[in-house]
Structure 1
Amino acid sequence: MIDDPYRDTELVELYDVDNPDGPDRAYYRALAGEIGAEKIIDLGCGTGLLTRSLCTPGRTVIGIDPSATMLDHARKQPGADAVSWILGDAAAIPPTGDADLAISTANAMMHVRPAALPATLAALAAALRPGGTLSFESRQPAYRQWEEWTPDATYGERVIPAGLLREWLVVTEVADGRVVFDAHNVFPDGEDRVYTSVLYFRDEAEFRRELAAAGFADITVAGDWHGGPALDTSRILVFRAARA
């Protein structure tokens, strides 16, 4: 059984508020239009905000996520019936070899363990047609963004249906590209719901090696959502590759 990494319904309902539509989702929608994608796979679709917006007449869209709580939320949203929702990780991707586009957004690829990355990329390749496109983003390790995730810098308060919610992050471990942090969520009754996340920061060279090994070619990397160069000062790395 897959552990649900986002199992708190009260917090999942805040996810789209915290992650509104923006240039990242605009990039993926534009990419789908650019290549004329008729079948799209969204791995790590979460609450499906982007996934649902990719649905157009005649287009098949599949959303896959390991969180049952997030998928339950996604299925209740307007337009959800146009998406085929699948509970699972990369192992659940149908290896049909006919998808035009596969995406993994919101830095979802950073949650994939090093030992699981080859199989994840191989599963994405198996879902794509020859020449099909894969695109995803990941945080640039040289930028060292985890150093900004201090309690003081991330502390916030807001009113939710349950009352006043207080939030902050605490990084507990940094080693060899692996960053572990706790997200504290203190509810009005004083309960602190702490959720631990593990992210794997990989540089451009590592992703290029793994992509090539999984059968991808024509690999390009940008440092922002508008095609700018990937620099050490870039906050993100945006990858695009084609199934060979």
Structure 2
Amino acid sequence: MKKELFLLSFVLLILLSAQIISAQADFFEDKKEQFEDFKENATDTKDRLSNESYLATEWREYLRQKKGGELILDISDFLKNFNPIFKVVLGAEYSLSLNFIISIILWAILFILTFGPLDAIFGRKWMSIIGTLVTTSLIGLSGAIKTATDEVISIITDPYIIWWVLLFMILALIIVVYLARDINRYIKSKKEEVEEEETKKAGELLRARAEGYRKGTTSKRKGIDWMTKDIAGED
């Protein structure tokens, strides 16, 4: 059930991302004449596209004119209610922007990488989830996720590069899922080997003690029998 819920949430995130990016691409195309001069100079284009106020702008008015835009805006308004959570986990507030989408994907990659090993170590899902949330939250509060997001944004020199960046990050997320699964299995197998070895040693120690006790008991019985015979002989 948890896996299905995660996959559903991930699919919804991808659909939302695609709509936002599509809107951004259309917006850039519609406004092409307004920043044509920027395209002639790659440096100026990069400076403008990497500017947070330019990419993190909410597209409310523009999305209202697009099919499905109202639904996205409704979802966006709902997600704003969780701003305190996003602030703690991501180190940034929610916004209907590419910055936030990239932050979420980076957080998901970090969460999966952290959860796998912790789940193998703790062996209990709830402890692993709490440990992972605490770890990722501390990283988010440190500003590491925001810094990584800014680095990703800085490589975008053209609106259509956004699609390649998103594709790369999705592929990275998929690879991380399988990598985390393999790490989880490896740690669990090693943990089981250690437990089996400890159980084996404990069994050997128990048998050794039992054998020592048996020999000691046998010796005592022989001593008692010898004393009994000796006393009987004196009589």
Same fold (TM over 0.5): no
TM range, normalised to the smaller chain? under 0.3
Rg comparison, structure with higher value: 2
TM-score, length basis structure 1: 0.21
RCO (CA 8 Å, sep 6+): is it higher in 1 or 2? Answer: 2
The TM-score with structure 2 as length reference comes to: 0.22
Which structure: greater strand fraction? Answer: 1
